[in-house]
Amino acid sequence: MDALKAHRAELEHLAGDDVLLAAVHCQKAFGAERLQRSPREMEQLLAALPRGVRDAAAAAYRAEPEPSPEKAWERVVAVLVGADSVIRLDVERAIGGSAVTGGDDSCAARLDRGIRDATMVHCVVTDRRLVLADMTDDLRGFRLRAEVPRGAVLRARREGRFLQRGRVVIDFADLSQLALLTGVFLTRRADELVAALTGGTPR
């Protein structure tokens, strides 16, 4: 469905004074999540563990060199499930790549939180913003879920994977990354989104 044709008036209302460039129905792509926890958050998580496993988990965490708190946390989880010596395959990452990476306060994380429980999500690109919005309950308009300045987008590209041909990867200036899925088999909407974000023309 062409969202711009079907909902132009509603999308222009959402865009306000911005120039509307594209609107594509999407969802977060399948893949691994790599949202980094701060050292303080890691210590708080460790402190909440039962006493019987706390020491082993803390040792595993502190054995991981900085700066990789997420890798350290993976070691902690391995200790908790009794698989610390087992080589593990990250199935989500192997098949789907990374869906979201970056710090908890990054652009990617903010957008990810905005659509986590949303339905009928649209990625809306204007001359000033990248907006994620979903339809209102009465289906007569759109409500803002999350947004970042257009200038925060470093680059965007179509990067298809298995059953995710319409997968678009967006890199942000804070070095975070978000992958959106616009179609399982078709790529037209993905190309439209990339073109709007990069100033090019759809292929």
CATH number at residue 166: 2.30.29.90
User: What is the reported pLDDT for 92?
Assistant: 45
Q: Are residues 13 and 110 in the same domain?
A: yes
Q: Are residues 10 and 56 in the same domain?
A: no
Token look-up 């087992």 returns 86
Full residue range of the structural domain in which residue 13 is found: 3-31+97-198
Q: Are residues 57 and 149 in the same domain?
A: no
Instruction: Return the half-sphere exposure (C-beta side, CA atoms, 13 A cut-off) of residue 82.
Output: 0
User: What is the reported pLDDT for 89?
Assistant: 42
Query: Considering the chain, what is the average pLDDT of its residues?
Result: 82
Residue 81: pLDDT band by 50, 70, 90 thresholds?
A: low
Tens-digit pLDDT profile for residues 101-147? 888 889 999 999 988 888 779 999 999 999 999 998 888 899 999 99
Instruction: Return the half-sphere exposure (C-beta side, CA atoms, 13 A cut-off) of residue 123.
Output: 30
* Tokens standing for residue 97: 């790549």
Q: Which of 41-45, 135-139, 179-183 has the highest mean pLDDT?
A: 179-183
Q: Are residues 15 and 113 in the same domain?
A: yes
Q: Are residues 12 and 45 in the same domain?
A: no
Rounded to two decimals, the pTM is: 0.74
58 domain residue, yes or no: yes
Q: Are residues 118 and 152 in the same domain?
A: yes
Is a pLDDT exceeding 60 seen at residue 15? yes
| Number of compact structural domains in the chain | 2
203 domain residue, yes or no: no
158 domain residue, yes or no: yes
Q: Are residues 171 and 105 in the same domain?
A: yes
Q: Are residues 118 and 145 in the same domain?
A: yes
